[in-house]
């Protein structure tokens, strides 16, 4: 078992992810990456600069060449990794977590995010990290990140004229995060009203996660009328959600399904990748375009691994993260927004949503101890029949519905999530499996 690594890097409040730990993890990552050129970046969290200093020091102390991007979005940092041909990247960001949290996200030289399993290899090296000789410590370089470079790369992948001609009106909620760095890009492409656009590590406007309750100010703004859509991101700008022109919140599942539609309609593709907890709508659309769906464990690192290994045209997850392989293997929120604008240039967002396969969800969570939750999954794994996927928890697929029972990776819960053609059926499935789990 990993001691520090979670699903996506090492995460914690300041007393858990301390500068000392950041330094030791960075030394180990430096060794793991071959003591070569490593890029580093941070978001705007108050502990970001402090932790970044420890990260830089750790890397340099084992002989790495450190390139510092400074304040940067997560997808922007990953694009820079590719551009600078770095041997690795560490991003100091706690993504959608509360302001007192921070995290280190590690990315390898191929642009693949380091998963819990690969993180264990890095942890083992923590004991072996030896200082470089004094004259082998290399000077650090600043490579200031400019969102303009990322914007240019994004713009090359869409039909800019089509977007500009549509004269879209957008309400943007940057959530005081790094997505605000892209304000100029949106201003060039549409008529924009922005809220929470001051980059601020205290997140004064709203919590970082762009969930429905957290973006009600944006919903209300769009409901006042006069907008084609509302867009919102999380703190490091890899997650993205939208509000349609009528003020309806569009969940991440649907953003991904629309992204699949756009990608396959335009360029075709052999397969798509998504997690076992994502709506079947994406698979339905892929099927329509002759592409198969590769399912992965829940977590962005597994999607980027699938992207690198297989013939996958696009990947995404239910929280509103889409990976566009023409840019990087990172979930790219600003790119997803601009791609969606290309669709909106044809017809209103609500019409696109109406065209998607309609599914309804239900979910619940049951409290169990750490040992008990794993024991239950094990038991359920033995008793489940039919089309069962055991990649991450137990997912059982039926004719036009499915249910997944998973042990939470970070909390002492079993989560049950179901999807069906009607709300009633989804709720019934959740109740049924809740009963099964409680009887185990
Ligand atoms: Mg994020």
Same domain, 224 and 267: no
From 217, 152, 227, 219, select the one nearest 182 (Cα to Cα).
152
Tokens of residue 226, six digits: 């006069």
Q: Is 78 among the domain residues?
A: yes
| Boundaries of domain holding 340 | 252-355
Q: What is the mean pLDDT of each run of 10 residues along the chain (440 residues)?
A: 90 97 98 96 98 98 98 97 97 95 97 95 94 97 92 97 98 98 98 98 97 97 96 97 98 96 97 96 97 94 92 94 96 98 98 96 91 90 90 93 88 92 96 94
From 343, 433, 342, 352, select the one nearest 393 (Cα to Cα).
433
From 390, 260, 239, select the one nearest 312 (Cα to Cα).
260
How many whole angstroms from 9 Cα to the centroid of ligand 1?
A: 12
Contact in structure between 308 and 111 (CB atoms under 8 Å): yes
CATH number of the domain enclosing 435: 3.30.310.50
Q: Is the dihedral of CA 405, 391, 211, 369 positive or negative?
A: positive
How many whole angstroms from 41 Cα to the centroid of ligand 1?
A: 14
How many whole angstroms from 432 Cα to the centroid of ligand 1?
A: 33
Same domain, 83 and 121: yes
Give Cβ neighbours of residue 191 (< 8 Å, ≥ 6 apart).
167, 168, 169, 170
- Residue finishing a domain among 188, 220, 246: 246
Look at residue 330 and give its three-state secondary structure.
coil
- The beta-carbon contacts of 409-412 under 8 Å, at least 24 apart in sequence, are 409/6, 409/7, 409/298, 409/299, 410/6, 410/7, 412/367, 412/368, 412/369, 412/370, 412/373
Contact in structure between 291 and 315 (CB atoms under 8 Å): no
Same domain, 289 and 370: no
- Residue finishing a domain among 178, 211, 246: 246
CATH number of the domain enclosing 329: 3.40.120.10
Helices (H), 73-127: 74-83, 116-125
Neighbour-count burial of 350, counting CB atoms closer than 10 A to its CB (0-12 exposed, 13-18 middle, 19+ buried): middle
How many whole angstroms from 399 Cα to the centroid of ligand 1?
A: 34
Could you report how far apart the first and last alpha carbons of the chain are, in Å?
25
Same domain, 21 and 42: yes
Q: Is 119 among the domain residues?
A: yes
Same domain, 70 and 133: yes
Active-site position among 26, 33, 73, 95: 95
Same domain, 214 and 298: no
From 387, 390, 359, select the one nearest 280 (Cα to Cα).
359
Give dist(CA 242, CA 128) in Å, integer: 46
- Residue finishing a domain among 229, 246, 263: 246
pLDDT at 408: 82
How many whole angstroms from 247 Cα to the centroid of ligand 1?
A: 24
Tokens of residue 364, six digits: 């619940």
How many whole angstroms from 313 Cα to the centroid of ligand 1?
A: 21
Q: Is 197 among the domain residues?
A: yes
Q: Is 105 among the domain residues?
A: yes
Domain count, the chain: 4
Instruction: Transcribe 116-143 into DSSP letters.
Output: HHHHHHHHHHTTT--PPPGGGPPPPEE-
Q: Is 275 among the domain residues?
A: yes
Same domain, 213 and 296: no
208 classed as catalytic: no
pLDDT at 374: 87
Q: Is 2 among the domain residues?
A: no
From 405, 409, 384, 403, select the one nearest 280 (Cα to Cα).
403
How many whole angstroms from 176 Cα to the centroid of ligand 1?
A: 13
Tokens of residue 172, six digits: 């943007």
Same domain, 268 and 303: yes
pLDDT at 385: 87
Same domain, 304 and 414: no
Same domain, 118 and 230: no
Same domain, 116 and 223: no
Q: Is 75 among the domain residues?
A: yes
Q: Is 217 among the domain residues?
A: yes
From 72, 79, 8, select the one nearest 43 (Cα to Cα).
72
Same domain, 348 and 392: no
């Amino acid at each position: 078992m990993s001691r520090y690594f979670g699903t996506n890097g090492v995460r914690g409040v300041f007393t858990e992810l301390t500068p000392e730990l950041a330094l030791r993890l960075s030394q180990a990552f430096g060794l793991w990456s071959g003591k070569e050129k490593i890029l580093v970046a941070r978001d705007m969290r108050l502990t970001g600069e402090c932790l970044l200093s420890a990260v830089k020091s750790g890397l340099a102390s084992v002989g790495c060449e450190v390139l510092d991007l400074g304040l940067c979005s997560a997808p922007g940092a990953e694009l820079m990794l590719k551009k600078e041909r770095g041997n690795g990247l560490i991003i100091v960001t706690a993504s959608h977590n509360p302001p007192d949290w921070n995290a280190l996200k590690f990315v390898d030289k191929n642009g693949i995010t380091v998963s819990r399993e690969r993180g264990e290899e890095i942890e083992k090296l923590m004991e072996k990290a030896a200082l470089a000789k004094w004259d082998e410590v290399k000077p650090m370089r600043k490579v200031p990140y400019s969102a303009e470079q990322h914007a240019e790369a994004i713009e090359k992948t869409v039909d800019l004229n089509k977007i500009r001609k549509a004269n879209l009106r957008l309400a943007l909620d940057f959530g005081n995060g790094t997505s605000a760095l892209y304000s100029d890009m949106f201003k060039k492409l549409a008529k924009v009203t922005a809220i929470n656009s001051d980059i601020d590590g205290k997140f004064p406007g709203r919590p970082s996660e762009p969930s429905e309750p957290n973006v009600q100010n944006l919903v209300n703004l769009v409901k006042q009328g006069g907008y084609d859509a509302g867009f919102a991101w999380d703190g490091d700008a890899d997650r993205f959600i939208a509000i349609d022109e009528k003020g309806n919140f569009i969940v991440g599942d649907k953003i991904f399904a629309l992204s699949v539609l756009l990608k396959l309609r335009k360029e075709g593709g052999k397969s798509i990748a998504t997690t076992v907890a994502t709506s079947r709508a994406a698979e339905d659309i892929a099927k329509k375009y002759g592409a198969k769906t590769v399912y992965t464990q829940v977590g962005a690192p597994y999607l980027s691994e699938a992207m690198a290994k297989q013939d996958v045209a696009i990947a995404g997850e239910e929280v509103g993260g889409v990976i566009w392989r023409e840019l990087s293997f990172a979930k790219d929120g600003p790119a997803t927004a601009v791609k969606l604008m290309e669709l909106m240039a044809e017809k209103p967002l609500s019409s696109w949503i109406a065209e998607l396969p309609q599914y309804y969800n239900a979910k619940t969570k049951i409290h169990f101890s750490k040992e008990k939750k794993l024991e239950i999954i094990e038991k359920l794994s033995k008793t489940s029949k039919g089309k069962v996927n055991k990649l991450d928890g137990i997912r059982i697929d039926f004719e036009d519905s499915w249910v997944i029972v998973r042990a939470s990776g970070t909390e002492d819960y079993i989560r049950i999530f179901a999807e069906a053609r009607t709300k009633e059926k989804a709720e019934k499935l959740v109740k049924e499996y809740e009963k099964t789990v409680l009887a185990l």
